[in-house]
Amino acid sequence: MSPKGPEIARWASLGFLLAAGGVLVYALGSAFTYTATHPGPACSNPPALAADPPQWIVVLCCLAAFAAGHLSGRWQQVDPQHLPAAMPAAVTEAEQRQRGRQVLVIEGLLLAFLIEILALLVFEVVALSSGRWPITLYVRCAYNAAGWPTTLGAASVTFLLGRWLWLPRRSSAETGS
C-alpha cells in the first residue's frame, strides 16, 4: 500500500460512518415527517409481509453492511498510546484520575445503551402479551410503506453493529502478548 493508502482508508472509514449516520437521520426524519403529516397508518393492519425490495435482498444488504462495518473498523485511526502494549502505567494521581474518568464515562454510556435495549425488550413483551403492535409490526409497516429507505436504515444499523461488535483481529504488537 502506498504511503497515502492508510490516509485514504481512514477517510473512507470516516465517510462510511458519516453515510450510515446520514441514512439513519434521513430514515428517522422521514418517519417522523410522515407521522406528523398523515393522520392514517402508512400500511395495512397487519402489515403485508411482501414489499419492494424482496426480503432476501434486505437480508443480503444487511449482511453486506455488517461485513463492511467490520472491514472499515480496521481502517480507523487508533492512537498508539491507547494500545495495551504501549499503554504505560499511570504514574501520577492526576493521570490516574483522568484515565479513571474516561473509564467511568464509557461505563455510563454503556449503561444508558443497555437500559435502552432493556426498555425496548420490555415494550416488545408487553405488546405481545396484550395484543398491541410489537416493534416487529412497526418495522414491518415501515418496510411495507417505504421498502428501500427502510432497507437502507436497517443496513446502516447492521453496519454500525459490524463496526462496533465484530471486532477486528488484533496483531500481537497491538495486544502486547
- Beta carbon of residue 116, minimum distance to another protein (angstroms, whole number): 10
How many CB atoms lie under 10 A from the CB of residue 137? 16
CA distance 88 to 85: 8
Binding residue (CB under 8 A) for another protein from 12, 19, 25, 165: 165
Binding residue (CB under 8 A) for another protein from 46, 96, 171, 173: 96
Binding residue (CB under 8 A) for another protein from 33, 114, 171, 173: 114
Nearer to another protein, 19 or 111 (CB): 111
HEC string of 38-84 equals: CCCCCCCCCCCCCCCCCHHHHHHHHHHHHHHHHHHHCCCCCCHHHCC
Q: Which three cell numbers stand for residue 122?
A: 420490555
Binding residue (CB under 8 A) for another protein from 1, 36, 50, 103: 103
| Angle at the Cα of 149 from the Cα atoms of 22 and 141, rounded to 5 degrees | 130
The residue ranges that bind another protein (CB under 8 A) are 49, 59, 62-63, 66, 70, 84, 89-90, 93, 96-97, 99-101, 103-104, 107-108, 110-111, 114-115, 117-118, 121-122, 124-125, 128-131, 136, 140, 158, 161-162, 165-167, 169
